[in-house]
Amino acid sequence: MTTMPHIDPQRAALLLMDFQAGIVDSLPDSDALVDRAAAARRVADRAGVQVVYIRVAFTAAARGAVPDRNKSFAAIASTDRLTDGAPDAEIDARLRPAPNDLVVTKTRVGAFGTTDLAAQLAARGIDTLILAGIATSGVVLSTVRDAADHDYRLFVLADCCADRDPEVHSMLLEKLFVRQADVIDSGDLARLLDAAAAE
């Protein structure tokens, strides 16, 4: 059995990505997923891990800046879906951010490309990311690949990610993400952080 590296809570951030009302509601049986994400968030809070919410939302200007050649986002931009301030763009009420949490708004798939996330993490001395989100083939995939290129130590919470295509979800977790991240579940997170606290 491979020994998992410990997680230094002072240098880690839990990224809860795209847990927004309009996205969560698009998944079948999302309650269990949100419950697990909320439990992971409580574990992170107890350990002193920085919690970061990544959300996608569009102002009128951001929507107008999406070019027609962007296949997926041009389709979103042509609707009023995920308008900043609208109910479907709000973070799920069961995962409401606390005052010390960071909330970062993006206008593309990954957490880094259209945000100042890297600068905010660097300012806090964070070099380890724990990722959870919807969808596994969307924000999680894009953020894993980008974060690996930024040299972060990465953990993916498998039971706190979801995708509408279960085969793609499994393939990413079992075959792709393991090349760049430690794929764990929320129970492992508690053990890794408890182990760090005991040192």
What is the SS3 assignment for 183? strand
Quick one: tokens of 144? 């894993």
Q: Which positions ≥6 away from 153 have C-beta within 8 Å?
A: 5, 127, 128, 129
Is residue 111 within 8 Å of 139, Cβ to Cβ?
yes
Give yes or no: 18 in active site: yes
Quick one: tokens of 96? 């409401």
Query: Token pair 């990465």 is at which residue?
Result: 154
Q: What is the DSSP letter of 66?
A: S
**What distance in Å separates the CA atoms of residue 46 and residue 9, rounded to the nearest whole number?**
10
**Alpha-carbon dihedral sign for residues 13, 159, 91, 113:** positive
Query: Residues 18, 92, 101, 159: which is the catalytic one?
Result: 18
Q: Which residues are catalytic?
A: 18
